Amino acid sequence: MIEKNVEDNARNLVQTTVNRIETVLLSVQKIPESLACFLENSSYSREELLHILRVVVENNKEIYGSAIAFEPYGFDRKSQYFAPYYYKCDGLTEFTDLGKGSYRYLDWDWYQIPKELNRPDWSEPFFDVEGGNILMATYSVPFYRKGGGKREFMGIVTADVSLRWLEEVASSIKVLQTGYGFLISKNGTIVTHPLKNLIMNETLFGVAEAREDSGFREIGRKMIRGETGFVPFRSLVSEKQCWMYYTPIPANGWSLAVLFPQDEFMADINRLCRIVILLGIIGLFLLSIAIVLISRSITNPLRAMAKATEKIAIGNLDIELPPIKSQDEVGKLTSSFHYMKSSLKQYIQELTETTAAKERIESELKIAHDIQMSFLPKRFPPFPDRREFEIYATLEPAKEVGGDLYDFFLISDDHLFCSIGDVSGKGVPAALFMAVTKTLMKRIGEHMIDPSEVLARVNQELCLENDSTMFVTVFCGVLNLKTGEFRFSNAGHNPPLILRTGKNPEWLQVPEGLLMGVVEDTIYKTERVFLNPGDGILLYTDGVTEAMSKEKIAYSERKLMSTIKESKSGTPEELIREVMQSIKEFAEGEPPSDDITLLAFQFNGKKG
Amino acid sequence: MVRILCFFLMLIFSGASPVDAAQEILRKASLIPQWSPQAQFAGYYVAYEKGMYRRYHMDLTILPGGPHSPSSEFLEKRKADFSTLWLSTAIQKRSQGLKLVNIAQILQRSALMLVAKKSRGIYKPEDMDGKKVGLWRAEFQIQPKAFFKKYRLHVKVIPQSYSVNLFLREGIDVASAMWYNEYHTILNSGLNPKDLTTIFFYEHGLNFPEDGIYTLEETFKKDPSLSCAFVKASIEGWQYAFSHPEEALDIVLKYMLRAGVPANRVHQRWMLNRMKELILPSDQQISVGKLQPSDYGRVAQELKESNFIKMIPDYQSFFVECDNRAEK
């Protein structure tokens, strides 16, 4: 775009200058042309001719000298050469005949070229040494004698023109600081140039040869061919890179070139560029500050939030969250965090309360369990001074408080009461029900020897206030320590095992009886069996037979039977420990889902 | 005391400058080149500036040559002891009775040539038939005319001036040119070598060696060693110029400025380079400065046939070989 502008400027400048030169040249051309026209169309005497020529030279300030050169014998049959020439010298108009003396005008370019070309021609520029070293050029016009349809060459009319004005025009061209114009002739001879030593002494091609620059030579060739162009060019004066616009002067085929220094043209643009770059840098700097500030305004609440969440993460819900300042995403996030914090806080508060309540209940349950366990006789051997029997019992509580119970006591010196039971359900109600049952059993059992009656009485008592419809299975029996008679009754409980010395254990045939706490008037039966010394009875609850292995297989009666069968244990304690061990191995670490209760006694007879 | 000092001073001066002593036996001599100063005569100016003539015990004066000072006239009128001349000019002068002798044929080849624009349809000699040919006067016409005869060409001869503008403006189709001068002017007027058809006469059996060194027979006989010293020193000057072209150009340009002729270094460089090829043709084994009898015979024969001379001067008396005659 800039180049285009420069080119337009250049074209205007050069074209204007060329037009100025052209105007002068054309006006100068008119003079010898009209003189030639006069010579072709008029008859004239020698005196008339000289007069006209003198007037032409005197009256035209542009014309330094003018000659009319005739072909040999062309003017006068007597003289071979005739070429009158008037020229200005020191303000006077002088005359000479170029035909006289050794000056052979026929061989000179100003004569020969228009003659051979049959057309007017501007000569190459030359320095007129005699006339004060003025740069001159000659315009030569051939004239002819017409007649008989033929044109016979008669001679040449010339006008010598001082080119001082041309030098002034060309050297007045100044472009910025170092731009300049120069003029070359048709041969490429440098006619005007800021470098004076080039003028008339060098052609563009000589300069190109000296600089070994073939591109330069090519430009010169285009210039002398009369082309117009706009090309990059290195200044001969400043060696700066320039644009050069050149165009021919149509009248004489010379070429005018004007150089436009690129850097000077670009100076403004470069300054503008520098300002733009500076502005850009400042703008970028300000922008980055703004970006930092904005991003800080976004990340600061986020960072504060991150810090707050860290504290929240380690459990500090009382931390003060950053205030909600804006309605954007960060603001929304902050408010969500506020909500989350309060929700968490509330939730944790509730959780704390719940846990506290649960812990309280659990501790109460624990107490209940402890109370339950404290009901049961746990001191073994319970009767160290009695050798007629040995008794042992254990209750392995389930995780929750269960409802198993066992008890034994001596009704009298000769009678041992023992019972085992299992309350339906679990938890505190079961424990309480068990406690009630056990208390009732003890209270009633101490006064009665018939087990069925004990069960019937206990049942009546249980049914009385049993709104919760809980029930309990109980097996109880009374062993006569003198006779070995064992009277027993059953209220829906698992049949115990009878272990006779030297025999396989077998299930005790228990009378049928409804479990207690359901029907008030239930009647229970008492059965009896005689134990020989060494014989024993094993009571258990369904926690034994229903103990589960990992594969959810029940321990079962059969396994219990086989365990006891294979047992080599002598005392009830050893037997119970062995069974418990067997159950533990079977369960493979599974916690018992129900209380596991075992009670065994061995009748030793009187001899012990 | 003062006497002793003076004596010593005299001793020092006489001992310190043997040149002064030698100067006493320097032989005075003068040279006139056949044209104004330019690289065509670089060897002589260089030999002078670099002290070669002095080394051969000569006190040489180079006279300003040019169109107004015909060198043969200077020789004839004994205004100069030595001059350069074209071989053809010298033969003519000798046959006209001027007893001059060639003591060295410096140029071995003719630099005269014809140049035509290919754009005018001229590619080979035959294409010149019927064309306008610019010829210089006198001996410059001998070769071209012999050439036209050889190729049976009928051309319109136009007298050619010193410039080549008539040719450049296409007022003539073929121009005469010296290879070392006008041909380069044409090139430096914007014509490329490939735009031009060139006719070198030496390529067409018309080798007329040009510049040689001449002296009068009597000058030579009086002191042959002086003539031969001049030749030796001049050849050394040429050799120095060719091996130090830029220095030689500086010297030539200095003389040109002194003579007030336009001095263009590029043009003079071209001329010096061409002189080297003309003096020491790279494709020929020639001892520098020797006039080949064949060249002499050819030029003399052509001059006779063109009626420039009536009788061919004897080669033996025309050319004097200077081998071993110079004394340092």
Using a CB-CB cut-off of 8 Å, the residues of chain A touching B174 are none
Does B328 have pLDDT greater than 50? no
Cβ-defined contact of B266 to A206 (cutoff 8 Å): yes
Which of residues B22 and A56 earns the better pLDDT score? A56
Q: Which residue of B has its CA nearest to A220?
A: B190
Domain ranges in chain B?
26-109+209-318, 112-204
Q: Which residues of B touch A108 (CB under 8 A)?
A: 161
The Cα–Cα gap between A17 and A317 comes to 92
Indicate if the pLDDT at residue B1 is higher than 60: no
Find, in chain A, the residue whose alpha carbon is nearest to that of B261.
Answer: A201
Higher pLDDT, B78 or A3: B78
Q: Which tokens sit at A184?
A: 């070359």
A413-426 pLDDT, tens digit per residue, is 888 899 999 888 87
pLDDT attached to residue A129: 63
Q: Which two tokens stand for residue B39?
A: 């690289």
Coil vs helix vs strand at A583: helix
**% of chain A at pLDDT higher than 70:** 98
Average pLDDT over chain A reads 84
Tell me which architecture the domain covering B112-204 has in CATH: 3-Layer(aba) Sandwich (3.40)
Average pLDDT score over residue span B111-136 = 89
| Among B93, B58, B89, CA closest to B77 | B93
For A78-100, the DSSP string reads: S-S---EEEEEETTEEEEEETTS
Q: Do domains B26-109+209-318 and B112-204 have the same CATH topology?
A: yes
Residue A506, chain B, CB below 8 Å: the answer is no
Mean pLDDT of B50-79: 85
Out of A401-405, A562-566, B3-7, B227-231, least confident range? B3-7
* Contacting A residues, span 120-139, partner chain B, CB-CB under 8 Å: 121, 123-124
Model pLDDT for residues B267-322, shown as the tens digit of each residue? 899 999 998 888 887 766 777 888 888 888 888 888 888 888 888 888 888 888 87
In a 13 Å sphere around the CA of A357, the CA atoms on its Cβ side amount to 5
pLDDT (0 to 100) of residue A132: 59
Cross-chain Cβ contact A203/B158 below 8 Å: no
Using CB atoms, pick whichever of A106, A108, A224 lies closest to residue B190. Answer: A224
CB within 8 Å: A224 and B171: no
pLDDT score recorded for residue A563: 87
Q: What is the structure's pLDDT at B138?
A: 75
Give the best residue of A205, A222, A246 to mutate against chain B (max B CB count within 10 A). A205
How many other CB atoms are found less than 10 A from the CB of residue A383? Answer: 16
Determine the distance in angstroms separating the CA of B254 from the nearest CA of chain A, rounded to an integer: 15
Please check whether residue A227 touches B, CB under 8 A.
no
Q: Is domain B26-109+209-318 given the CATH code 3.40.190.10 in the classification? A: yes
Q: What three-state secondary structure class fits A308?
A: helix
Whether the predicted pLDDT of B116 surpasses 60: yes
Q: Using a pLDDT cut of 90, give the percent of chain A over it.
A: 8
Give backbone dihedrals phi and psi of A373, rounded to 5 degrees, phi first: -65, -30
- Give tens-digit pLDDT for A561-604: 888 888 877 788 888 988 888 888 888 888 888 888 999 998 88
Inter-chain touch A124–B163, beta carbons under 8 Å: yes
Q: Would you state the pLDDT for residue A543?
A: 86
pTM of the model as a whole: 0.61
CA-based nearest residue to A192, from A233, A215, A164, A214: A164
Query: Which of 112-171 (B) contact A at CB < 8 A?
Result: 132, 158-161, 163, 165-166, 168-171
Q: B188 contacts in A (CB within 8 Å)?
A: 188, 203, 205-206, 209
pLDDT at residue B9, as a whole number? 46
- % of residues, chain B, pLDDT over 70: 90
Q: Which one, of A544, A588, A548, lies nearest residue A563 by Cα?
A: A544
pLDDT band at A288 (very low <50, low <70, confident <90, very high): very high
Rounded Cα gap, residues B322 and A585, in angstroms: 143
Give the whole-angstrom CA distance, residue A561 versus residue A601.
Answer: 17
Residues of B in contact with A217 (CB under 8 A): 190
B55 touches chain A (CB under 8 A): no
Contacts of A451 (CB under 8 A, 6+ apart): A476, A477, A478, A487, A488, A489, A524, A526
A200 touches chain B (CB under 8 A): yes
pLDDT at res. A280: 92
Residue of A nearest to B268 (CA): A206
- For the segment A116-157, what is each residue's pLDDT rounded down to a tens digit? 888 888 888 887 666 556 788 889 999 888 877 788 888 899
Q: How many CA atoms lie within 13 A of B159 on its CB side?
A: 12
Please report residues of B whose CB lies closer than 8 A to that of A205: 187-190
Q: What is the pLDDT of residue A93?
A: 80
pLDDT score at A71: 85
With cut-offs at 50, 70 and 90, classify the pLDDT of residue A286.
very high
